[in-house]
Amino acid sequence: MQFESKSFLIKGNKIAWGKTLAEVETILDEKLLTPNNGWANLSIECKEAYGFPAIEFEAYAPSLDRPVMQVIYELAPSSRKRRSTHAEFWMKILEEKLGSPDNTSGYRKSIPFRSSASVYYDATWYIDDIRLHLAVFGGLRKNKAGTSAASLFIEWINEIEAAKPFMDEINILEDKLKSNSNDYANLTTFPVNAYLKPFYRPDYRLSNPDPALKNALLRRSQRALYASQLIDTPQYIRQRLNKKQIAVWEFGQKSQLAVSTLWDTVIIESKPHNNIRWTNMLPAKGGGGMYLDLDGIYISDVHSSEKLTAIVRRLEEFLGYSITCDVCDDI
């Protein structure tokens, strides 16, 4: 096993962290398997991962033009004849190369097969800017490329470093708003029932999963990676808001529209905007609720909320077209 924290290995390629998903796809030049749901990703068949038998490699990024932040190797069973999963098969080599893990949980010794959906042993190492995680399943899992008994996750966790090439995009947008600080008009504030929150991405593997709430640069870097359409709310708007208000305002001689919370702002394009999602979930088994996702600014309220509907009507007034509300039952 030859592990380096500055890169990941796949099929003889040493790929540096920082390459976008599109760049990784070009480097691999392989027939892709069906992608998974969620983040932008690619999957290819592979027979080996750091010396371990494997069946599949997956790379995940926030989008095609953002860096790969996680790779996953689906590891093959240690033997087709085994009737149990055995963490020792992988742990012995990993500990020889990486030392003792920082965190472990579960049962390291062999156990009879249980549910393949469960993880009966996992171990985590922190190495420089990398988190390496082994998860051993309670049974064999069927994947697109075959059968796996464990997964090896490698994550690039230095989001500040990962975001550096993309910070200029945010700066340009923010400068655009600052240059119009004396040109905003028709500012309307809308009260909401629930306290709003700044955009950030928690890390539930940490004892404190919310470091970005106390680190402005980290939260800004997360926005650049995961929600690049969001920018800092300008001071001249922020001073008019509290934690339970949304502002809708025009700028650029009333040619553009922005939506702001106390922390984050998104510029709403005048063309039909595919990233507005408005949902009214009617009471059924659950109590229901209304949800409005304005390209990363997320607001929730009771079902059929007049407050959220008022925000949508203000957007429709500026945009000149209706925004469809998806109605469903809370089942």
Question: Which pLDDT belongs to residue 310?
Answer: 96
pTM: 0.89
Which segments of the chain does DSSP mark as H helices, in order?
21-28, 88-98, 159-163, 167-178, 216-226, 235-238, 306-319
Question: Which pLDDT belongs to residue 51?
Answer: 92
Residues of the chain whose pLDDT is less than 70?
A: 1, 80-84, 110-114, 270-274
Question: Which pLDDT belongs to residue 182?
Answer: 75
Question: Which pLDDT belongs to residue 290?
Answer: 95
- Asked whether 93 and 51 are in contact (CB, 8 A), the reply is yes
Tokens of residue 240, six digits: 């008019």
CA distance 220 to 59: 24
Give me the count of residues in the chain: 331
Average pLDDT, the chain: 90
Backbone dihedral angles phi then psi of residue 135, each to the nearest 5 degrees: -120, 120
Question: Which pLDDT belongs to residue 275?
Answer: 80
- Asked whether 259 and 269 are in contact (CB, 8 A), the reply is no
CA distance 210 to 253: 39
Closest by CA position to 227, among listed 130, 176, 295: 295
> What is the three-class DSSP state of 16?
strand
Torsion from C-alpha of 58, 59, 62, 67, nearest 10 degrees: 180
Question: Which pLDDT belongs to residue 211?
Answer: 95
Distance of CA 228 to the CA centre of its chain: 12
Closest by CA position to 169, among listed 231, 259, 255, 97: 231
Closest by CA position to 159, among listed 102, 200, 126: 200
For 274, other C-beta atoms within 10 Å of its C-beta total: 8
CA distance 224 to 230: 8
CA atoms within 13 A on the CB side of 246: 26
- Asked whether 247 and 310 are in contact (CB, 8 A), the reply is no
